[in-house]
Amino acid sequence: MQIRKIKPQHAKELIELSQQNFGDESWTEKQLTDIITDDNYICIALIEDEKMLSYLIAVQSLDDVNIVSIATKEGHKNKGYATKLIKWMIALCQYVEKTLSLEVKSKNITAINLYQNLGFEKVHERKNYYRDGDTALIMFHVTKDSQKA
């Protein structure tokens, strides 16, 4: 099992995984295909036997990396795969000295627990942010003093 950069040959699997997890709210095939060739995005996946089990897409700005999509394939959840990808991204952000942020639906308890356990803290809320009226929680990864160099 390896963490690899998502390349155009993985587009089909990425689209399937996104649609399986986000349904109507998934990015379209065109959007995902554009994103994986756009240098502003960091797109990584956990691959085993050439199969994509989990992916993480983040967009980078001058001082921040923002996780914009993360999902794990049905049948492979709760095995620590998303954790591996997020930890990889935390290490990258520490190395390039950028903050790591994300936004999550307030009803997505599974994802919120995962982020909190990995050191993300809520800094802000946007009410009525999503199409279904749910609130967005804006979270940032906080490096504990004991982990700083």
- How many residues sit close enough to ligand COA to count as binding (CB under 6 A)? 19
Shortest approach of ligand COA to residue 39 CB, angstroms? 23
Contact between 58 and ligand COA by CB under 6 A: the answer reads no
Sequence length of the chain is 149
Nearer to ligand COA, 106 or 148 (CB): 106
Closest CA to 140 of 117, 118, 123: 123
| Rounded Cα gap, residues 16 and 21, in angstroms | 9
List the interface residues with ligand COA, window 112-131 (CB under 6 A): 113-114, 117
13 in Cβ contact with 52 (< 8 Å): yes
Nearer Cβ to ligand COA (110/147): 110
Is position 21 an interface residue for ligand COA (rule: CB under 6 A)? yes
- CB of residue 81 vs ligand COA: minimum separation in angstroms? 4
- Residue 94's Cα: distance from chain center in Å? 16
Asked if 107 interacts with ligand COA (CB under 6 A), we say: no
Show the binding pattern over residues 67-106: x = contacts ligand COA (CB under 6 A), - = does not. ---xxx----xxxxxxx--------------------x--
54 interacts with ligand COA by CB under 6 A? yes
The percent helix, strand, coil of the chain (3-state, each to 5) is 35, 35, 30
Q: Are 104 and 80 in contact (CB under 8 A)?
A: no
DSSP run (H or E) holding 42: strand 41-48
Residue ranges that bind ligand COA, judged by CB under 6 A: 21, 54, 70-72, 77-83, 104, 108, 110-111, 113-114, 117
